[in-house]
């Protein structure tokens, strides 16, 4: 993005709790995240996606707050947009506009840049990925992998300090996943990556295992991933279709 200074943001989750329909989805989570690559693992329903949304300021926690580089991302939405961005699972549930140019321009326009500046920034972002020809392409002509890339480019164009990835490679084939992973490896921003793909997280600085709204384990991938993997295998031996109690 032409940045000489590292854009490595710091996320401070302070006592975040969230209750929905009587269930504690998040239970007093406190985490200080400052290393560049942090992974999140946990079963579906463990609260990972909800935490991702709270961290981005999309959901208000019942208690606690989240600061990104000392900005309260729920109270100060305006500054938050420049601080943290999120990539969801399915680009079809994320892309709002019909062309690549419009989709990538949206966030930048909302951040307050002038029309000319937006056009320039989008052109630069596309060129950086070698996709200058995509500018006027209709989203419906793009493949799933290409749509994922559009979402990624749209988020990166806003130059946040932190990017949250909520299982963004679900359903993609291996070559495309590798390519997108490679792109992510090179960026400066702090990445918080929720994933079921444990292989992708093993080079990360830190992995956090979330279970039923609380932090089960938190540390180096070499420690957390095998423990998590073993626990998942053990559960696999039981009846996984039974209702989850509690």
Partner 1 sequence: MFSLTSPVKSPYHNVPPGPKFFLLMVASITLFLIGNIYLQAAALAFVLGLYLLPGGTFFKEGLRMLWPLWPFVGIVFLWHAFTHDILPGLIIILRMISAVALANLVTMTSQLDEVIALVTRLITPFRRFGLRPQILALSIAMFIRFLPVLIEKGGLLVQSWRSRSTRPAGWRVVVPLALLALDDADTVAEALRARGGIEPDKI
Partner 2 sequence: MEKNIVIIALFAALIAALGLVPKFTLASGIPITAQSMGIMLCGTVLGSRRGAKAVLLFLLLVAIGLPLLAGGRGGLGVFGTPWAGFLFGFPFAAFAAGLIMERWRSDNIPLVAGCAAAGGGIGALYLIAVPYYMMATSSGLDQALFTAMLPFMPGDILKAILAGYITAGLAKARPDSLLSRA
When binding is defined by CB under 8 A, the residue of 40, 74, 106, 134 that contacts partner 1 is 106
Q: Which residues pair with 84 in a beta bridge?
A: 162
Residue list 2-41, contact with partner 1 (CB under 8 A): none
Q: Could you give the CA distance from residue 226 to residue 235 in angstroms, rounded to a whole number?
A: 14
CB 131 within 8 A of CB 122: no
CA dihedral (113, 167, 25, 33) positive or negative = negative
Tell me the window of 134-142, 186-194, 203-211, 220-228 that interacts with partner 2 (CB under 8 A): 134-142
The partner in contact with residue 138, picked from partner 2, partner 1, none with C-beta cut-offs of 5 to 8 angstroms by kind, is partner 2
Tell me the window of 61-69, 135-143, 213-221, 226-234 that interacts with partner 2 (CB under 8 A): 135-143
Residue 138, interface with partner 2 (CB under 8 A)? yes
When binding is defined by CB under 8 A, the residue of 3, 20, 75, 98 that contacts partner 2 is 98
Q: Could you give the CA distance from residue 196 to residue 33 in angstroms, rounded to a whole number?
A: 20
Residue 21, interface with partner 2 (CB under 8 A)? no
Show Cβ contacts of residue 229 under 8 Å, excluding neighbours closer than 6 positions.
Answer: 198
Sheet holding 11-20, edge to edge: 23-33, 11-20, 63-68, 71-72
Residue 97, interface with partner 1 (CB under 8 A)? yes
Residues forming the site for partner 1 (CB under 8 A): 53, 56, 58, 77-78, 81, 85-86, 88, 90, 92-98, 106-107, 110, 154, 158
């Amino acid at each position: 993005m032409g940045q000489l200074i590292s854009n490595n943001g710091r996320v401070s989750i302070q006592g975040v709790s969230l209750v929905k329909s009587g269930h504690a989805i998040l239970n007093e989570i406190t985490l200080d995240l400052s290393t560049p690559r942090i992974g999140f693992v946990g079963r579906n329903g463990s609260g990972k996606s909800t935490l991702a949304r709270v961290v981005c300021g999309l959901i208000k926690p019942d208690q606690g707050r989240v600061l990104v580089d000392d900005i309260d991302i729920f109270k100060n939405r305006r500054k938050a947009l420049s601080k943290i961005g999120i990539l969801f699972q399915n680009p079809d549930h994320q892309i709002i506009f019909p062309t690549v140019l419009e989709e990538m321009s949206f966030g930048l326009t909302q951040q307050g840049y002038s029309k000319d500046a937006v056009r320039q920034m989008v052109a630069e972002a596309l060129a950086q990925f070698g996709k200058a020809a995509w500018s006027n392409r209709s989203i419906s002509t793009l493949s799933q992998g290409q749509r994922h890339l559009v979402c990624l480019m749209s988020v990166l164009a806003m130059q946040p300090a932190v990017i949250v990835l909520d299982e963004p490679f679900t359903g993609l084939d291996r070559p495309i996943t590798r390519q997108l992973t490679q792109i992510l490896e090179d960026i400066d921003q702090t990445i918080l990556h929720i994933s079921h793909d444990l292989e992708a997280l093993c080079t990360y600085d830190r992995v956090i295992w979330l279970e039923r709204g609380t932090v089960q384990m938190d540390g180096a991938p070499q420690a957390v991933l095998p423990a998590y993997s073993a626990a998942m295998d053990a559960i696999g031996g039981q009846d996984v279709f039974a209702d989850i109690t509690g």
